[in-house]
A and B are shown apart, each in its own frame.
Chain A
Amino acid sequence: GEDVEQSLFLSVREGDSSVINCTYTDSSSTYLYWYKQEPGAGLQLLTYIFSNMDMKQDQRLTVLLNKKDKHLSLRIADTQTGDSAIYFCAVADSGNTPLVFGKGTRLSVIA
């Protein structure tokens, strides 16, 4: 089955850019998502990209997709302390098929 891998921790200084990486194994994954989870809270959808796109920008967030390498990244510009959270990469074959999640990357922002 599909496997989604993320690095577990990332620490950045406030104001710097953060880059969170994700790799997946199944080339049929056409919907690729980034979720944010703050402590004790639910999942907040940040952004998503389709596999026929290379890049998507949404304010401070930039998603890059290298479909050949099955590599997805999320860049957060001007990282703030409020961005400290766990970020999950998730993939699916369509908008209605179950999501496969990575284990999440814990982002710590140092003031």
Chain B
Amino acid sequence: NAGVTQTPKFRILKIGQSMTLQCTQDMNHNYMYWYRQDPGMGLKLIYYSVGAGITDKGEVPNGYNVSRSTTEDFPLRLELAAPSQTSVYFCASSGLGTDTQYFGPGTRLTVL
């Protein structure tokens, strides 16, 4: 199992550009999450999903969109990138009955 994979690893965007951060898990987990980590801070929840077709907002959803059309994939869309979205983005997943979330390696995004 590859676990949770994220692409790209690094990206630099210009203000106003858009992009999609990809997240895929191969553990057949129902639950998936997107967190962001700002410099010197802990992780904050952006969006999460309890299954295909179901998503819900977290603490910091503004400026982002998500979709969950399959169990495996949970892409995060940034529209009109802003410097405030410079952060490291972590995707995670968990399955029914599991005690922990499995994290991907992260995507480091800089918006200039």
**A interface residues, Cβ below 8 angstroms from B:** 1, 4, 31, 33, 42-43, 45, 48, 88, 90, 95-96, 98-104
Contact = CB atoms under 8 A, between A and B. Distances in A.
Query: Which of A1, A43, A48 has the most CB atoms of chain B within a 10 A radius of its CB?
Result: A43
B96 interface: yes
Given A42-B105, A42-B106, A98 B100 contact: no
A35 to B, nearest CB: 8
Q: Which 5 A-B pairs have the closest CB atoms?
A: A101-B42, A95-B99, A101-B43, A98-B45, A103-B42
A96 B100 contact: no
Contact of A42 (B50, B90, B97, B99): B90
B35 to A, nearest CB: 8
Interface in B27-52: 30-31, 33, 35, 40-45, 48, 50
A48 B100 contact: yes
Interface in B49-107: 50, 58-59, 90, 92, 94-101, 103-106
A56 B70 CA distance: 37
| Interface size, B (range) | 20 to 34
Contacts of A1: 59
8 contacts: A42-B103, A43-B43, A48-B100, A95-B97, A95-B98, A96-B94, A101-B35, A102-B42
Contacts of B48: 98
A40 to B, nearest CB: 8
B42 A96 contact: no
Given A42-B90, A43-B90, A99 B101 contact: yes
B100 A43 contact: no
A88 B42 contact: yes
A96 B31 contact: yes
A7 to B, nearest CB: 13
Contacts of B106: 42
Contacts of B103: 42-43, 45
A99 B50 CA distance: 14
Given A96-B94, A98-B33, A98-B58, A4 B104 contact: no
